[in-house]
Amino acid sequence: MLKKSYININSILKKVKEKNYSFVFRKVSRIYPFKITPFILKQIKNFSFEDPIFKMYFPHIDELKSFKQKTVDPYQEKVYGKVFKGKIPILVHKYPNRALIVTTNMCPAFCRFCMRKKNWGKSFLIDNKDLEKILDYLKKHKEIEEVLVSGGEPILLSKNILFSLLGNLEKIKHIKIIRFASKSVINAPNFFTDDLIDKFKAFEKLIFVIHINHINELIEENINLLKKLSKNFKVYSQTVLLKGINDSYKELSKLFKTLRDLKIKPYYLFDCDPVKSVYHFKVENKKRDKILLKLYSTLSPLALPFFALDGKAKALYLPKKYISYKTLNN
């Protein structure tokens, strides 16, 4: 049994340096709730928006600014949804050889830049009936080679459902890879007990994709977990480029090199999508391209993720104004 730990938000708010922050906090979190874990509190060095981890999780007034032209469904999941739970797509088939399973919308903490924050209020977890429909679709679509098990946070599924899902995916011959996408590896590593890791070893197609945006997210507990995972599985990382959090060459290169040293392959660096209440995290294109150019020109391919624009279709992006070719000398 995992121990529940209680967080006293009033005592945390007292530490925040911004003026009148309690008022802003309550106003914003009434619309987009606040949720945090004790591990995240350990990652925060300074309770102000100057701190990258604080900025990732604490409500900001900019979330309420109107972005009328911005979408709430950047990936067009409603269009490409093939199995639904109520109105929420739980199986999305957008790219021919890949499918996404949205196992839940629950997370142990809420990232303020979350593209799916519109679903935060309506908690769900997939059940056996959903599982049947999802597997039925996947079995019929032999073109699907990779399945992304995501959420929300898939580790929150009941272990019966989770292992039934993984076991069944493992048995479908045309599915070659099961990508398990998790932010909890970083912000709630206590979910990954040794016993659970042992059980995961039964799935040969399983790889882990962790979500990490800043080197300050690494603390003793999740470093230990990452070492255990990378000993037993292939582990990849994905990062979102976020204004005021990691929008510099220095921060990103530090993060990617550290991940490489932990035997984790930086896999995707995503642009921030034009989503309502999130788009204030978008890094201006000119600044973004400068950062990318420097990353492309200096990092070893082992430490260099693909930069991808998502939205209607996932596109690999190179700032073509600057790049004609890259000499690989390492």
Q: From CA 213, how far away is CA 243, in angstroms rounded?
A: 11
Give me the least distance between CB of 184 and ligand SF4, in Å please.
8
Residues binding ligand SF4 (CB under 6 A):
107, 110-111, 114, 116, 151-153, 183
Nearer to ligand SF4, 105 or 253 (CB): 105
Instruction: Give the residue with the Cβ less far from ligand SF4, 35 or 228.
Output: 35
Cβ of residue 181: shortest distance to ligand SF4, in angstroms?
A: 8
User: What would the two tokens of residue 26 be?
Assistant: 């309550």
Burial of residue 231 (number of CB atoms within 10 Å: 0-12, 13-18, 19+): exposed
Q: Which residue number, 58 or 303, has a Cβ lying nearer to ligand SF4? A: 58
Q: Is 235 helix (H, G, I), strand (E, B) or coil?
A: strand
CA 106-26-67 angle, 5° bins = 75
Considering the complex, state which of residue 153 and residue 289 has its C-beta at the smaller distance from ligand SF4.
153
CA distance 75 to 272: 12
Closest to ligand SF4 by CB, 111 or 178: 111
Residues β-bridged to residue 240? 270
Write the CA distances from 155 to 103, 107, 122, 161, 184, integer angstroms: 9, 9, 18, 10, 8
Please, what is the minimum distance in Å from the beta carbon of residue 119 to ligand SF4?
A: 9
What is d(CA 116, CA 275) in angstroms, rounded to the nearest whole number? 9
Q: Which residue lies nearer to ligand SF4 by CB, 272 or 299?
A: 272
Residue nearer to ligand SF4 on the CB measure, 213 or 253: 213
Residue nearest to ligand SF4 (CB): 114
CA-to-CA dists, residue 278 to 64, 121, 212, angstroms? 9, 16, 17
Strand ranges, E, within the chain: 81-85, 88-92, 98-102, 146-150, 177-182, 206-211, 235-240, 265-270, 306-309, 315-316
